[in-house]
Amino acid sequence: MLKTKDLSYWYQDASQPLFKDVNLEFEVGQSYAILGHSGTGKTTFLSLIAGLDRPKDGEIFLGDRSLKKIGLTNYRRHDVAIVFQAYNLFTYMSPLDNLLTAMAITNAEHAGDKAYAGQILRDLGIGEDLITRNVQHLSGGQQQRVAIARTMACDAKLVVADEPTGNLDEDNTNAVIAQFQKIAHDQQKCVIIVTHEPDVAAQCDHQYRLENKQFTQLA
Amino acid sequence: MNFCKRAWLNVWAKKGRSILLILVSAAILMFVLAGLLIRSAAIKATNQAKADVGATVTLSANRQAAFKQMRKSSSSSSSTSSRPKLTLTPVKLSDATKIAKLSNVGSYNVTSTTSANAKSYDTVSTSTGMGGSNSGGPGGMKSGSSSSGDTQIDGVTATSLTSDFSDKQSKIVKGRGITASDKNTNHVVIEKELASQNNLSVGDTMTFKQTTGSKTTVKVKIVGIYKASSSSSSTAGPMSTDPSNTVYTSYTLANSIKGSKYAGTADSVTFNVTTPSKVSSVKKAGNQLISTSKYTLSTDDASYQTVKASMSSVESFANKIVWLVAIAGTIILALIVILMIRERRFEIGVLLSLGEARWKIVAQFFTEMIMVLVVALAIAGAGGKFVGNQLGSQLVSQTATTTQTTSTTSGQPGGGNQGGGQPGGQSGHTGGPGSSSNSTTKADTKLAITVSAVDLAELGGFGLAITFLSIMIASGGILRLEPRKVLIS
Ligand SMILES: Nc1ncnc2c1ncn2[C@@H]1O[C@H](COP(=O)(O)OP(=O)(O)OP(=O)(O)O)[C@@H](O)[C@H]1O
Ligand SMILES: [Mg+2]
């Protein structure tokens, strides 16, 4: 579904590229974990496949269309959903409004459907009393679950997450990863998670490690 | 529109911040409104004053041309025996009626001034002792053929049209003034002093004697008594007789006292110009209708100019306030908005990562500010009247003093009757530009401060422009923000 072709990236002021000639393929219905030491370029890679930045060399294809052709804004709106480590939500809204807003912006199939959004939140353990409360009054784990619920409420087939469990305790981490697995398997989406926790990576279907400018698949 | 909903959710959720923004905006708008109010009040007052003070065009003999003619004839004739003669052609009333038909010309007043000698009564002698009652005026270089009488006769169309009466320098105290219907009658209006000294009252008759020609006696009937204020006597300047000896009649009676050849003429005709700004065009059009070698049209819009000048200074000051506050307000608001938007870079990052169009993000901030603006506008509308009133009264007390100074100085050159008096003496009272400005301008400098719907609409426009500019300045950052920044930080 998502393919990188000879993907390279380097920062203007760096002497070496972060990664070079990366050729990877990601499929729907699967979850992928990307491991690697700090500063190797995991987040940078993710920003490229999330359509937040342009590669310096090479191309990314969604199906048979390159991101360049689709247009990054268009790609972000319709094809990819992103979960950040923090600051995922609109702080002045309730969980429900966060979902409805994202659904409206991305023109999702269920846009405007409050019951649908509410059901997703409840499935993720955001109780009735929390749904209409301001998100700032939710715990870190609850907020992260709302962010995951948002990706589920939207239609994008590709879900990318950068250290989504970085701020969570073990229980919350396991719950969140279980949700990502459900998204991949039940919703038939493609989930790509960047993490530095081997335990988290182990729960995903595939694991890659970014090392020496190259991605290597772990057995 | 999804961004409108977001804007509303944001404004509502962050009430404290919204209230602060409302207060800042209201303060800025209040000052803009104060400026707008003063400006519109100044414009209104100027228009009112323009309508009130009026301006005049006066048709009279062309004195300058006559002098030139006199000098030419004196130099060309070799013999010095013939004395150079100043020939002034009296104004023809037929010319006056033509000019009266021009557009922007309102009422007009015919003035024919002469003098006569008292017969059935005694004239009032000046208390300062400037010669006896019958001494006759020193009158400058009078043409020798005529002598001046002790009673000045001011023939007019109507007393109410003369500057002395319209400026309230003179007031009717008994009976009535001369009106257009007194044409061809022997009705007169005399001064209170003269009346009491001679025990005359309305309905009585009195007699004059002509100073020239057959020196026949003229019997007149008193229809009214007026009181001349002391200030009007000062404008009479170098005139010989006491101002109390001025008798108003219809110009027809004055003409007949002058002599039969003066029928259908006048010393001058003063036209009121209904639109003071049109004075020069009236003069231009009038000049087409008269023989400019014999007659001249002079304009008097001094009081109009005085009012205009003082009001335009208020207006330009108000304009400066408006622009200064608008610019300062834009800068202040822009800085606040920039700070706010910097704080919201995560939110912007999330919006961008969801694929939201940048212009819609800017539109959201703009909508939020509009919501703030609407409330601020209401507050400013209430408060601006107060600020405007304070500023307005401050301004008026300043300009009122300025106006008064100007009008006093402009009042000075009144009464200058340069050169030789006509037979019967063309008195100074027709001259005096600016002598009328004193009373009018003072009243007109009051600024009426009221908040109209138009003011509020204009204020709203200013608020919108200020907000729009602020957002535009601040959103430079949004438009440049890379969504990846949110991910990395
Ligand atoms: N805007 C930038 N300009 C220059 N260098 C940058 C910029 N952003 C990141 N880098 C550098 O690029 C490298 C990769 O950064 P990146 O954030 O992708 O690493 P990462 O693998 O996600 O690390 P971590 O596990 O700590 O999150 C780092 O060495 C970082 O210093
Ligand atoms: Mg990272």
- ipTM score of complex: 0.92
Q: What is the band of B85 on the pLDDT scale with cuts at 50, 70, 90?
A: low
Q: What pLDDT is stored for residue B61 in this prediction?
A: 87
- CB < 8 Å from B in window 127-186 of A: 134, 162
Smallest CA separation from ligand 1 atom 11, residue:
A39
Q: What pLDDT is stored for residue B162 in this prediction?
A: 87
DSSP state of B82: S
**Position B28 pLDDT exceeds 50:** yes
Could you write out the three-class secondary structure of B428-462? HHHCCCCCCHHHHHHHHCCCCCCCCHHHHHHHHHH
Determine phi and psi for A18, rounding to 5 degrees.
-75, -40
Q: What pLDDT is stored for residue B485 in this prediction?
A: 73
Say how many C-beta atoms besides its own lie within 10 A of residue A159's C-beta: 25
Could you write out the three-class secondary structure of B113-145? EEEEEECCCCCCCCCCCCCCCCCCCCCCCCCCC
The domain spans of chain A are 31-42+73-217
> B392 near B37, Cβ under 8 Å?
yes
* Stretch among A17-21, A189-193, B187-191, B412-416 having the lowest mean pLDDT: B412-416
Q: Is A84 on the interface with B (CB under 8 A)?
A: yes
B347-364 pLDDT, tens digit each: 988 999 999 998 999 999
Q: Is B448 on the interface with A (CB under 8 A)?
A: no
Q: Are A76 and B486 an interchain contact pair (Cβ–Cβ within 8 Å)? A: no
Token readout for B228 is 């001349």
**Position B470 pLDDT exceeds 80:** yes
Q: Which residue has the higher pLDDT, B46 or B287?
A: B287
Closest Cβ opposite residue A92 in set B2, B14, B357: B14
Q: Which residue has the higher pLDDT, B52 or B127?
A: B52
> Which residues have CB under 8 Å from B439's CB, separation 6+?
B167, B168
Which CATH number is A31-42+73-217 given? 3.40.50.300
The domain spans of chain B are 3-48+308-409+444-488, 55-76+85-300
Closest to B228 measured CA to CA, from B172, B158, B176, B156: B172
A57-91 pLDDT, tens digit each: 999 999 999 999 999 999 999 999 999 888 889 99
**Position A207 pLDDT exceeds 80:** yes
Ligand 2 centroid to Cα of residue A47, in Å, is 10
The listed range with the strongest mean pLDDT (A127-141, B156-170, B307-321, B371-385) is A127-141
A148-161 mean pLDDT = 94
Smallest CA separation from ligand 1 atom 4, residue:
A11
**Position B107 pLDDT exceeds 70:** yes
* Stretch among A100-104, A168-172, B39-43 having the lowest mean pLDDT: B39-43
In the A/B pair of chains, how many CB contacts fall below 8 A?
A: 71
Token readout for B84 is 């150079």
**Position B390 pLDDT exceeds 80:** no
Report helix, strand or coil for B281: helix
Say how many C-beta atoms besides its own lie within 10 A of residue A10's C-beta: 17
Q: What pLDDT is stored for residue A138 in this prediction?
A: 93
Q: What pLDDT is stored for residue B471 in this prediction?
A: 87
* Stretch among A60-74, A149-163, B335-349, B423-437 having the lowest mean pLDDT: B423-437
Q: What is the band of B421 on the pLDDT scale with cuts at 50, 70, 90?
A: very low
**Position A101 pLDDT exceeds 80:** yes
Distance between CA B284 and CA B278 in Å, rounded?
10
Q: What pLDDT is stored for residue A158 in this prediction?
A: 96
Distance between CA B322 and CA B384 in Å, rounded?
12
Q: What is the residue-averaged pLDDT of chain A?
A: 93
Query: Across the strands, what pairs with B228?
Result: B170
Q: Is B10 on the interface with A (CB under 8 A)?
A: yes
Kindly identify which residue of chain B lies nearest to residue A150, measuring between CA atoms.
B354
Token readout for B155 is 């023939």
Q: What is the band of B439 on the pLDDT scale with cuts at 50, 70, 90?
A: very low
> Which residues have CB under 8 Å from B27's CB, separation 6+?
none
Q: What pLDDT is stored for residue A95 in this prediction?
A: 96
Decide the pairing of beta strands A19-22 and B295-300. unpaired
Q: What is the band of B232 on the pLDDT scale with cuts at 50, 70, 90?
A: very low
Q: What pLDDT is stored for residue B143 in this prediction?
A: 36
Q: What is the band of B325 on the pLDDT scale with cuts at 50, 70, 90?
A: confident
Q: Is A46 on the interface with B (CB under 8 A)?
A: yes
What are the residue ranges of helices labelled H in B93-198? 93-100, 163-166, 192-197
